[in-house]
Amino acid sequence: MSATGFTGIVVFVLFMGLMIFFSIINKDREENNVRPIPGYDKINQEINVAVEDGTQLHISLGRGGITGPESAAALAGLSLLKQVIEKSSVCDHPPVVSTGNAVISILAQDTIRGSSKAISVGDQRRNPSGELIGVTPFSYAAGALTTIRNDNVSANIHTGWFGNEITWLTTAGERQSSSTIAGTVQLPAQAVIYASASDPLIGEELFAGGAYLGAGKMHQASISTQDIIRWIIIVIILGSVVLNILGIDSFIEDILAGSM
Amino acid sequence: MTDILCPTCGRPNSENHSSCDFCGGPLGSEDITSVQNSSLRDDLFSNENPNEPLEPRESMDEASRLDSLFSPDPPPLDSQKEPGDQPPESLNDVSRLDDLIPAPESTEALPEEEIQTGESLDDSSLRDDILGSDDPLQEPKPQNHFPLDNLFPDDISAPELPSQDPLPDSPPEDDQLQEKSSMETPGEDWDFLTEPSSSSGLPQENSPAEEPQGDWDFLTPDPSSEETPPQDLDDPIPDFGSPGFSEDSGWLDMLQDPETREELASETSSDIKKEKNQTDWLDKIKRLDKSTEHVDEDSSFPDWLSVSEKPAEEPEPEPTPEPVPEIQPEPASSDLPAWLQMDGDDESLNEFLRRKDLTNEEYKPKINKEPTGELVTLEDDDEPAADLSDSQHIKFPSWAGNESKKEEIPEDLQFLAGYDPDSPPPDGVDALQIEEEEYFDDLFNEELPDWLTSASSEGVIKPTSEALSQGDLPGWVEAMRPVVESSDLAEEEDYMENYGPLAGIPSVLPAEAEIALDLEKAAKKPLDLITSKSNQEYVNLLKKLIGEENKAKTILRPAPVQTQRVLRWLIAIIMLVTTAGTVIFGGNIETEPPTQAQIQNTGYGALYDQIEKLYDSQPVLIAFDYQPAAAGELHAAAAGVVDHLMEQGTYLSFVSTQPTGPALAENFLETTQEAHRYQHTQQYINLGYLPGESAGLLSFVIAPKKIIPLAFDGSNAWGSPPLVNVDSINDFEMILVITDDPDIAKIWIEQVGTILDDTPLTMVVSAQVEPLIQPYFRSSPQLLSGYVSGIIDSMIYEQILGRPNLATETWLPFNLGIVIAVGTIFIGGLANGVLSIFSRHRSKLIGDTK
Amino acid sequence: MNIKIKSPISTAIAIGVGIVVLAGYFIPSMNDIRFILLRTGLVLSAVALLVGIINLLTVHIKKLGAENANSGYSLILVIALLVTLVVGIIDMVQTYLVGQPNFQMTNWVFTYIQMPIETSLLAVTTVSLIYAAASILRKRMDVFSITFFFVILLVLLGSFSIPPATLPFLHVIRDWILRVPALGGARGLLLGIALGTITTGIRILLGTDRPYSD
């Protein structure tokens, strides 16, 4: 086993252990001690508005698949989709779901079906569709514009894997005077949504949706685990800087080179 | 001229008045919602049996609504099994019901049995809530039952009840017979209501006197429920110890002649089985709900009416109309519950109450001196329809509105009207009937149900005041009545009762406070209170708080960001004009080539060095991993690099993890490298699309020949001499990735670059990707051997190469575009910033002003 | 035929496959199994693409109708999809059956229809980005937005390089921004995203997140 493989296993076991640990100790805790993220507060608010106004939400899951690094963003979007469907089950109109990837489209429809079944929404006509709009970035963006410009859509939630084309979606939402909550893992697109979306989700905030929308204790445990690991990384970075300043940096380089 | 009693205040009004002259309340002759209700009924039941009288359903609606008001959530089955062990909420409901039924006179005057009856009345409605109608263990009910009878589980019988009856032998014999008869004929007395046209040929020839009670038959007390043992619920074939209570509208049976009912019970029991199906509308609704989904969506169903149990909680449907409950042998008279048994004192009291109930306008002021026997005589005819006052008609459902005449009733239905020439007339009206009506008066005088008010307008039976017996007061009351001239009294100062036993007596407290009649007027009356300043402040504060509560607060939606369409168009036009004009009319810009010092430690310098190491026919893998939209930038950025590779004579292999990549590669060669005239499979091979994104790329890295055996055009991908010896990705001499996506660049670096041995990994990327790949180039070990970022690096690369290409051609428009973008952003940003500051300042001023 | 795999079984399959692929990344001896699973995943991805396109086609066919205001767009999409499909099939038949390897018609569609359209859309995106940068101070007037605004200007000006007007110090500033704050911030964001990615993957492996459940 290589040093990289060993490091990977250690990191994996560490993450899993912390997540299970936090999910156990947080089992009886009702309060959710997480910092407020305006984007998720806005989602909850928009769900309530949709219920009151009889409008509907538009959830776009991007064009990320499940066989690459972008799969995490896509799966986070699916998790958020599930929560939104459950929360908005009393809406007159179900959320509209659009995807730009075939696999995510199938998973989105599966999630919709499962969530609708769980909340006993037997009417298939009230279920959101989860259709594939386009397989290329701009065909997807252009296809989603039709949905965003629907007058009955009160808010747009873009979570998943987007590129610069997300500016089309955010700008269209702005022109419709509808709220736009957007999050992606692509850094250039994050700069775009910071400038154009009303409520951007920056960085790892995209993956915290479950903890903020009440998806379960494991999602809260994920947040706690990320915080713990983040502090560990900060300590390692600062320690490396100190070692580098002190000239003891070959040890770190050997570890990174896998020659340990 | 006939007067109509106001259902609100009980005072007489002219017949042609629609509202009360005294209290302003509606006289109940007009029903606004009757049309809606009828449409609702039509939606619900018109397809089932158009001739079927609908009013029982309406009455069921009202009854269900009442039940739902009292107990919106049915208790679990455990509580159903033990009716006596009722949940606290249900008990509260009972108390609420008691509050709603202010019958102090009755309860005070009635003996103990009657009070128990009143309690049983409450219990019956409570039982509706607790037991519900969906008991899976319930015996299939006769379909011509009054609908609300379905709410009573059949298995709740009281065979043991007589042993608990405090006065088992006290009721008169007639009453016992009536009760026995009612028990023997479960539901048959409603046959004429089920199919009036088919069964009798005289539709709606019903006895109006009976129907008001029938409408409220759900309130028919069933004391046996409390004594029912819990295990009875588990009995699939319950013991109908008292079917009359559990299935029949007992009040109607009381009006029948016992013998007639016994005969009819035996004659019509088989016919009833079929006819019952047609009136059991509640079961129909439930069946619809369970079998179809669209019933749930039917907005014509009120929420409280729609059966919305969850599937897991739904009992098994009872679709079988065949089984009919066996008619149990009649119980002994001692089995009758206490509340049905009456003694002589009860009869006198009942008679008094009945007279009170039958009072009308003519009766009340005149204080008729006629003997009470006349009333008894009329009552003996069992023709109460003609004797009822308008106030009583108000309670009639519409199907009871048609005036019925005794001589029009066929013989087989005369028993329903209580007309039986063979049987001796009963001594009086059953006490229960009177008491129920009193309850109903008290309950619903304020708010009459829609179907009741509509009934009065449709089929009001004209009162025959002459034939109506003039009510009389008991002698001791009459003797106490003072004779006072009304002119002696000032109307404002003294109040004279004009209704009830105290009619004509001045200076009595009114039955209803004046404040109750006109709340607004009462509220405006000044109160002589001495209030301090602080008290007044508190009052004002309270008024303000209350007033604010009534005001609907407008939730201000956050002001949407207005789109500056003009700015948009301005930006687009300027960009288009300048760049297009520069491309068309502009030329190349002569720039100084970079020095050797500038090239060192740069990405393009390292890439140039890597390509310089290559020579003829060495295999190079080029990944076209960008979208067609980015072709404008990346074609220009990669043109010089690929040109350099072709100059070196390398054998190029194209692959792409994007579906459009293979076509992009062909297009790239055609548009930028046409001079080299590379031929497919001879100088290059297009391996085509590699599905699976990073997973596919990983598989390709491990075994490229297995993953892509054929080329884009179907030829052997690995048959060319340079590729024969390529078994893994390490066998390529160099890998060049062209991408506009930082994530794809990361995939190549982290998934492929980490397993490469000596093969350099290089990139041509969009300018937006550079910050993310730069660390891999500058890190140690170096995962990225060289890169070109955007048009800037590419133009420098072409300068180094000495072969101007696309990047050099687009350099001027590119720089002009930058200038325009900077200028637009700067001006627009400053303008928007100033506007934002002014807007905030203005909003702040407005807020301060408010 | 409606094959419906119960949720526990599908969950077990998903968890098992995920663990094997992950272990194969760390343990070289499991590479073969991992490779088989990856190849299977590739085939399924391609099939999913086909399924997605069929779904896209059916959805827009359903949208055809007078009651739908956007039915015209759906009609164009259906026609374009079918035409492209027919063109691709003809090219494939010529290539694989007739033995004349050329994808001229497909390349023509790509070169003269798809690429100009997408390039134009990217150009419009440029306008949208410029507009967004210009209007950010109206949306959020805070320190971060002001910083964002001026960094955009500096980086763009640092990219400007026409000899008489070139300002060398702007190049230095641009390079410094790209190498230090932008790179540091990007790394911080990437670390956070990586942490979120790992926890999301672990939740999938633990079965707490089941997008495949039914």
The more confident residue out of B347 and A66 is A66
Q: Do the chains contact at C129 and A195, CB–CB below 8 Å?
A: yes
Helix (H, G, I), strand (E, B) or coil at B277: helix
Contact with chain B for residue C134, Cβ under 8 A:
yes
C-beta neighbour count of A112 within 10 angstroms: 23
The 3-state secondary structure of B745-790, one letter per residue: HHHHHHHHHHHCCCCCEEEEECHHHHHHHHHHHHCCCCCCCEEEEH
Concatenating the DSSP letter of every residue in B652-688 gives EEEEESSTTHHHHHHHHHHHH-GGG---BTTTEEEEE
Q: By the 8 A CB rule, do B371 and B408 touch? A: no
**Which chain B residues are closer than 8 Å to A163 by Cβ?**
627, 741
Q: Do the chains contact at B667 and C107, CB–CB below 8 Å?
A: yes
Residues B315, B465: Cα–Cα separation, whole Å: 52
Q: Please give the pLDDT value at position B750.
A: 85
Phi, psi (degrees; rounded to nearest 5) at A159 = -130, 125
**List of residues 6+ apart from A237 with CB closer than 8 A:** none
**Which chain C residues are closer than 8 Å to A72 by Cβ?**
193, 196-197, 200-201
Residue-wise pLDDT for A38-58, tens only, equals 889 899 888 888 888 888 889
Q: Which of B310, B627, B742 sits opposite A137 (nearest CB)?
A: B627
ipTM: 0.84
- Model confidence at A215, in pLDDT bands (50, 70, 90)? confident
For chain B, state the CA radius of gyration.
47
Mutate to test the interface with C, among A34, A61, A66, A217 (most CBs of C within 10 A): A66
**Which chain B residues are closer than 8 Å to A70 by Cβ?**
693, 743
Residues A255, A250: Cα–Cα separation, whole Å: 9
**List of residues 6+ apart from B196 with CB closer than 8 A:** B51, B53, B202, B203, B204, B205, B206
**Token match 């672990």: residue?**
C202
Contact with chain C for residue B592, Cβ under 8 A:
yes
Closest CA relative to residue B833, chosen from C200, A225, A183, C141: C141
CA atoms within 13 A on the CB side of C148: 23
Q: Which of C41, C128, C161 sits opposite B815 (nearest CB)?
A: C161
* DSSP character at residue B505: -
Which residue of chain B is at minimal alpha-carbon distance from C109? B663
Q: Please give the pLDDT value at position B837.
A: 85
Residues A143, A151: Cα–Cα separation, whole Å: 16
**List of residues 6+ apart from B696 with CB closer than 8 A:** A67, B657, B690, B707, C38, C42, C45
Q: By the 8 A CB rule, do B496 and B506 touch? A: yes
Residues B511, C152: Cα–Cα separation, whole Å: 83
Angle at CA C64, nearest 5°, toward C59 and C70?
A: 95
Residues B390, B381: Cα–Cα separation, whole Å: 20
Q: Which of C27, C198, C211 sits opposite A5 (nearest CB)?
A: C27
Q: By the 8 A CB rule, do B142 and B324 touch? A: yes
Q: Which of B589, B660, B666 sits opposite C162 (nearest CB)?
A: B589
Closest CA relative to residue B394, chosen from B212, B210, B135: B212
Structure tokens at C122: 């990217």
Closest CA relative to residue C80, chosen from C60, C107, C100, C98: C60
Question: How far, CA to CA in Å, does B84 sit from each of B80, B127, B220, B226, B239?
Answer: 9, 10, 18, 5, 19
Q: Which chains reach chain B with 3 or more Cβ–Cβ distances below 8 angstroms?
A: A, C
Q: Do the chains contact at C195 and A107, CB–CB below 8 Å?
A: no
Phi, psi (degrees; rounded to nearest 5) at B791 = -75, -30
Closest CA relative to residue A222, chosen from A212, A242, A201, A208: A208
Q: Do the chains contact at A188 and B742, CB–CB below 8 Å?
A: yes
Q: Which chains reach chain C with 3 or more Cβ–Cβ distances below 8 angstroms?
A: A, B
Q: By the 8 A CB rule, do C154 and C173 touch? A: yes
Structure tokens at C107: 């390349």
Q: Please give the pLDDT value at position B187.
A: 38
**Amino acid (one-letter) located at B828:** G
Q: By the 8 A CB rule, do B518 and B29 touch? A: no
Q: Do the chains contact at A72 and C52, CB–CB below 8 Å?
A: no
* DSSP character at residue B315: P
Prediction pTM value? 0.57
List per-block mean pLDDT (blocks of 10 residues) for chain C, which spans 214 residues. 58 83 80 81 81 83 77 86 89 76 80 88 87 84 88 88 74 86 87 90 84 61
Structure tokens at B324: 């009919």
Closest CA relative to residue B182, chosen from B217, B206, B207, B230: B217
Closest CA relative to residue B792, chosen from C169, C175, C115: C175
Where chain B has pLDDT below 70, the residues are: 1-474, 478-495, 499, 510-528, 550-564, 587-588, 850
**Token match 């894997």: residue?**
A161
Question: How far, CA to CA in Å, does C1 sit from each of A110, A114, B367, B509?
Answer: 18, 20, 85, 81
Residues A82, A60: Cα–Cα separation, whole Å: 13
Q: Which of C59, C188, C195 sits opposite A226 (nearest CB)?
A: C195
Q: By the 8 A CB rule, do B148 and B187 touch? A: no
**Which chain A residues are closer than 8 Å to B659 by Cβ?**
135-136
Residues B537, B542: Cα–Cα separation, whole Å: 8
Q: Please give the pLDDT value at position B727.
A: 86
Q: Do the chains contact at B743 and A186, CB–CB below 8 Å?
A: yes
Question: How far, CA to CA in Å, does A181 sit from each of A39, A170, B17, B794, C201?
Answer: 6, 8, 62, 37, 24
Residues B314, B287: Cα–Cα separation, whole Å: 11
**Residue A78 scores a pLDDT above 60:** yes
Burial label for B755, CB within 10 Å (0-12, 13-18, 19+), is: middle
**Which chain B residues are closer than 8 Å to C42 by Cβ?**
691-692, 695-696, 699, 707
* DSSP character at residue B13: E
What residues 91-130 of chain C have any CB closer than 8 A to a CB of chain B?
92, 95-96, 101-103, 106-107, 110-111, 114-115, 118-119, 121-128, 130
Q: Please give the pLDDT value at position A134.
A: 81
CA atoms within 13 A on the CB side of B731: 15
* DSSP character at residue B496: B
Please give, rounded to a whole number of angstroms, the shortest distance from the CA of B561 to a CA of chain C. 7
Contact with chain B for residue C161, Cβ under 8 A:
yes
